[in-house]
Structure 1
């Protein structure tokens, strides 16, 4: 039985693992490693330090399906909707430029799978790969799929750098990401917001680009829990403060937030997230959804950097990686 390691439990990696288990069960052992404390990557759900049932989406806010993808990826949307993983987004989002035919979805629940396996190096060992991690022993795999952000792939120790062709290196070096900060503000149960919208875009503010009332966005008014507020900064602000500690940037964002919402109550808890690699701005050109770095043993890259930075781009990449794995492993 071949051992396949998927590095990254974001959307592409998680879907690829699911499809491999579903189609090749009993013939392939699938292992997923992620350095974070929970699955989901940039679509993960965060909770306050007190580990209460409050939640806030500090990454992706909702999924937009175009008419074309709603048709070609109908089976995925249908399964996720039937399972309750997705539901239609029906709250009012002020400032959203909605295109005709597009449908928006939100995840009513978050993800709570804990992994904490930080990959540091990939080493070729004959017909296999030895994969090292920050804490713990190395393990050997027959195939490795790398779905983390491209700059993190290029930082891996081992044989990766020597395997890249000049063209591949040039293509990967061209990938660019936006950067931003996100705040989750958690309030006591007696707090009620006076504004009517569930989320709002701010187009004329240097610091803040988007604010959402998390429970309104999910259409989930929890009994006994206060609301949660999500704040996303603009791309220019994120780039300007990228190398600063998030603890130093948090007061700057809060000051601007209170200028925009002067009557905002005092939260009982705040969580700040720095997204160094947020949405992909420049993808690998003319790419089928993956890049094979070595055919045997198989080392392959996937993710939205090899398609486009949306839910459907991640689905396209996962399907592309799946076909490459099936061909390489001859299963």
Structure 2
């Protein structure tokens, strides 16, 4: 028998587990989709994707719990770490990569950990997801501890690498969250908070980079973005901690100061120059009349929370 097709007990067990997962089930409506017109394929796939926001809405309570837990750990000096294999791992790396320029934080604050290491971001690393011990080892190498929050992402909710990471994180005292697309997942039983975004069978059977991946992206957007809001990284819905590292972002910083204060472009630009480009400090200077050094000190005393600093100055 060909070794690649031999059914070992371990493979039989995995196959049996997959047979029970919604994410691996077959949508009978699409049995002959390879015979459809392109327009019909587009329409059908888009219709399937409409289910994702509703599935995310059904998990709002759990997502809110995750946001609060993550924000609390970061506020006390911890980090947010995403852990996944394949598509979930790449989505975690993507979300982590976007946080520093958006909210002006250190690249070490939100970390994406992917099975197989950085090479797996662009290339599949075979069998990497099967190593529960490696998931634990990767978090140990990063010094994960009680201050941190760890979000494990796995559509199936049973990926060994993710389970090993979550188990290690929980034993280390970290706040743990599992994001999956199957009800009653193993990952949810390991983590403190289980976010199960059940999107049903995929358009292409088992291709969880589709609806499940879209759901994961939405959930990660919520966790990181809303945690940053809780931490005072926005003023209303304005990005006031953005890092103006290119012309587009410098223009956005100027526009943000103008929107927040009603100041002219000239006043906003001049004030930004006096505070070394800090959007928060520029807004506080314009709205309160404080000197730049006073605005900087007041923000520091309020943990960088612009609204709290403004209210203190105007009290």
User: Which has more helix, going by share of residues?
Assistant: 2
TM over 0.5: no
Larger proportion of strand: 1
What's the TM-score, normalizing by structure 1?
Answer: 0.28
Between structure 1 and structure 2, the one with the greater Rg is 2
